[in-house]
């Protein structure tokens, strides 16, 4: 039986690295991201299905759920860093804050709700990618961190409500990605962990299927 995974934010960074790692293990993949060109290129490379779109769009969430009638793994990786340069909370633009929460909290929940029947049928797993900004106080990271903190508590409760599923909220640590470069600059980001190493650890996590909970890969 071939396992199927749905990965959001899969056109670059950790999402793409995880897609490559799972593809090498024989997984069937459905990938989504806003960058249609990069996503289709990744899907062609991996023999995956590409469904470009925005996870905050309810119609797109429905399309994704219909594409995975059998689902073993949902990875909510798509994230919105918010305003850059990272502003203090005292001056954080509230409309931008709302948009970040829509991507980082509401969209993952919407996708979970839409795919729960398929996940329950296969006793599947959910990986919600979070951050140490969810638990630590870092100047400028209040907007992003607030969303990730909400995602962590959402995951925590979901694990209790869905005992037949595995639910992990994963702090991958700093990775050399475009998102980190946007936040701290390309030079500092270049010294961070290769997303491929984090992806390998995530694949091991899914394969070993420990109890639901928070996982730090730092």
DSSP string, 190-214: TTSB-HHHHHHHHHHHHHH---SEE
* Partner residues linked to 128 by β-bridges: 76, 169
- Clarify whether 138 is annotated catalytic: no
Structure tokens at 4: 């199927």
CA angle 146, 148, 149 (to 5 degrees): 65
Identify the active-site residue in 27, 141, 144, 168: 144
How far apart, in whole angstroms, are the C-alpha atoms of residue 200 and residue 116?
25
DSSP, collapsed to helix, strand or coil, labels residue 100 as: helix
Q: Which residues are catalytic?
A: 144
């Amino acid at each position: 039986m071939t396992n199927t995974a749905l990965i959001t934010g899969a056109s670059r960074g950790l999402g793409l690295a995880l897609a490559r790692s799972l593809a090498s293990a024989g997984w069937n993949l459905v990938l989504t991201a806003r960058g249609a060109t990069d996503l289709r290129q990744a899907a062609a490379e991996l023999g995956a299905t590409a469904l470009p779109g925005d996870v905050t769009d309810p119609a797109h969430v429905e399309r994704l759920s219909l594409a995975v009638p059998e689902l073993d793994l949902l990875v909510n990786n798509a994230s919105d860093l918010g305003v850059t340069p990272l502003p203090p909370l005292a001056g954080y633009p509230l409309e931008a804050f709302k948009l970040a929460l829509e991507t980082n909290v509401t969209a993952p929940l919407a996708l979970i709700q839409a795919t729960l029947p398929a996940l329950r049928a296969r006793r599947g797993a959910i990986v919600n990618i979070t951050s140490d900004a969810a638990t630590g106080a870092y100047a400028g990271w209040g907007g992003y961190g607030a969303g990730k903190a909400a995602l962590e508590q959402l995951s925590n409760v979901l694990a209790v409500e869905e005992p037949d599923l595995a639910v992990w909220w994963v702090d991958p640590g700093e990775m050399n990605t475009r998102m980190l470069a946007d936040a701290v600059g390309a030079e500092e980001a270049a010294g961070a962990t290769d997303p491929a190493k984090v992806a390998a650890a995530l694949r091991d996590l899914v394969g070993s299927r420990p109890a639901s909970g928070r996982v730090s890969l730092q």
